[in-house]
């Protein structure tokens, strides 16, 4: 209970207690962070708060030494990037409570030094899930049946790859967001993780020369079979295979990907919903697509992650052993 009471990012005191702000302004300011971000910060803060309660320390405001001791305990089992995210959550919650600038203990030099030591010791490399590459799509294509569930799953996997969609973006697609043209399919993404201001963007998916792995044809076949004209594109089924009106959850994307990875003979534990997006970027790099062109499809705002995909895609292609073997 204490963790929830002291988690102030939902009810920011600096906003709630500001008499000069209108109720409309307060409501809008309360939506400055995405729901998923708030959930993650809440979970991180709860862990810190529980640790403080167990050790008899104060969580808000916390002492820099308290944060450092917590981080070092956390680092025994957690990755460096996880530890860094906890620092961000602690810092954001202190700012919401009015502890800004030098008064924010998470910004203290002692905490920064502790994080540098943890990063140096543990490293920051993250082992991601296996990508579903272009050639993997052909293997998966043999695993789909002709039933309506398979038609949905085929459309979801092929479109997820072709549009480099995040799980949340993929399940949020509405039929009204689709525009079929003679060249392919245009999908409107009203808002996403990298577009918190809701400017929206359009993703183009051309017809594939090979119908076997064509996302556009797969979506058309699914819409026709399911007789969907409005609302969510990808929907769950009841046990009797009756189509529901609601949209799939983002967790369902991971389950569907794992299902067909297993049917294709892969280890399902190595795959997740992100395998589609990662697979597109890695495959594009293998086909010599430049970083900026990849970013237009993936909607990445930073080249850092895209260059990581490019490096992974070229790990064999540009391997010095290739030239050595030829000689």
Residue 253's pLDDT band (cuts 50, 70, 90): very high
Domain(s) labelled CATH 1.10.150.130 in the chain stretch across 2-122
Most confident segment among 18-27, 97-106, 143-152: 143-152
Instruction: Report d(CA 160, CA 250) in Å as an integer.
Output: 12
* Contact call for residues 141 and 213 (beta carbons, < 8 A): yes
Domain(s) labelled CATH 1.10.443.10 in the chain stretch across 134-313
Does the predicted model carry a pTM greater than 0.75? no
Write out pLDDT tens, residues 59-98.
999 999 999 999 999 988 888 888 999 999 999 999 888 8
Q: Within 13 Å, how many C-alpha atoms sit on residue 141's CB side?
A: 16
Q: Does residue 3 have a pLDDT over 50?
A: no
Q: What is the mean pLDDT of the chain?
A: 86
CATH topology for 134-313?
Answer: hpI Integrase; Chain A (1.10.443)
**pLDDT of res. 228:** 96
* Of the listed ranges 90-94, 146-150, 263-267, 284-288, the one predicted with least confidence: 284-288
From 1.10.150.130, 1.25.40.10, 3.40.50.300, 3.30.1280.10, which CATH number describes the 2-122 domain? Answer: 1.10.150.130
Tell me the backbone φ, ψ of residue 189, rounded to 5 degrees.
Answer: -110, 100
Write out pLDDT tens, residues 221-252.
999 999 999 999 999 999 888 999 999 998 99
Q: Does residue 11 have a pLDDT over 80?
A: no
Write out pLDDT tens, residues 114-170.
999 998 887 655 556 889 999 999 999 999 999 999 999 999 999 999 999 999 999
**pLDDT of res. 272:** 92
Q: Does residue 312 have a pLDDT over 90?
A: no
C-alpha distances (whole Å) from 191 to each of 125, 166, 177, 203 are 29, 12, 12, 12
> Over pLDDT 90: what percentage of the chain?
57
Write out pLDDT tens, residues 29-57.
666 666 778 888 888 999 999 999 999 99
Higher-confidence position of 184 and 32: 184
**pLDDT of res. 194:** 53
Instruction: Report d(CA 114, CA 139) in Å as an integer.
Output: 47
* Contact call for residues 151 and 215 (beta carbons, < 8 A): no
Residues 6+ apart with CB under 8 A from 262: 268
Structure tokens of 14? 């600096």
**pLDDT of res. 51:** 94
Higher-confidence position of 264 and 4: 264
Instruction: Report d(CA 10, CA 33) in Å as an integer.
Output: 9
Q: Does residue 12 have a pLDDT over 50?
A: yes
Instruction: Report d(CA 214, CA 81) in Å as an integer.
Output: 37
Residue 2's pLDDT band (cuts 50, 70, 90): very low
Q: Which residues are catalytic?
A: 166, 193, 274, 277, 300, 309
Q: Does residue 196 have a pLDDT over 70?
A: no
* Of the listed ranges 21-30, 198-207, 211-220, the one predicted with least confidence: 21-30
C-alpha distances (whole Å) from 306 to each of 41, 269, 309 are 26, 24, 5
Report, as an integer, the average pLDDT of 181-206: 81
């Amino acid at each position: 209970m204490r963790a929830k009471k002291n988690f102030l990012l939902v009810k920011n005191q600096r906003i709630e207690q500001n008499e000069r702000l209108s109720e409309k302004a307060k409501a809008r300011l309360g939506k400055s962070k995405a729901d998923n971000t708030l959930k993650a910060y809440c979970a991180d803060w709860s862990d810190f708060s529980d640790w403080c309660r167990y050790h008899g320390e104060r969580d808000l405001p916390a002492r820099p030494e308290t944060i450092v001791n917590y981080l070092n305990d956390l680092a025994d089992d957690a990755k460096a990037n996880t530890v860094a995210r906890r620092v961000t959550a602690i810092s954001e919650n202190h700012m919401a409570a009015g502890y800004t600038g030098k008064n924010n203990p998470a910004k203290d030099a002692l905490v920064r030094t502790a994080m540098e030591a943890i990063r140096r010791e543990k490293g920051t490399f993250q082992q991601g899930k296996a990508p579903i590459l272009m050639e993997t799509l052909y293997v998966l294509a043999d695993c789909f049946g002709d039933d309506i569930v398979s038609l949905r799953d085929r459309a979801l996997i092929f479109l997820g790859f072709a549009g480099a969609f995040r799980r949340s973006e993929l399940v949020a697609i509405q039929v009204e967001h689709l525009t079929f043209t003679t060249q392919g399919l245009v999908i409107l993404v009203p808002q996403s993780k990298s577009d918190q201001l809701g400017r929206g963007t359009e993703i183009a998916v051309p017809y594939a020369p090979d119908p076997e792995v064509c996302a556009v044809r797969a979506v058309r076949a699914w819409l026709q079979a399911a007789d969907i004209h409005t609302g969510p594109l990808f929907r769950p089924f009841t046990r009797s295979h009756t189509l529901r009106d609601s949209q799939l959850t983002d967790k369902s994307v991971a389950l569907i990907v794992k299902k067909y990875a297993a049917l294709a003979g892969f280890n399902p534990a190595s795959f997740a919903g992100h395998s589609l997006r990662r697979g597109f970027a890695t495959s594009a790099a293998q086909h010599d697509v430049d970083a900026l062109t990849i970013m237009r499809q993936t909607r990445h705002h930073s080249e850092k992650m895209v260059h990581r995909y490019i490096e992974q895609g070229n790990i064999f292609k540009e391997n010095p052993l290739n030239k050595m073997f030829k000689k």
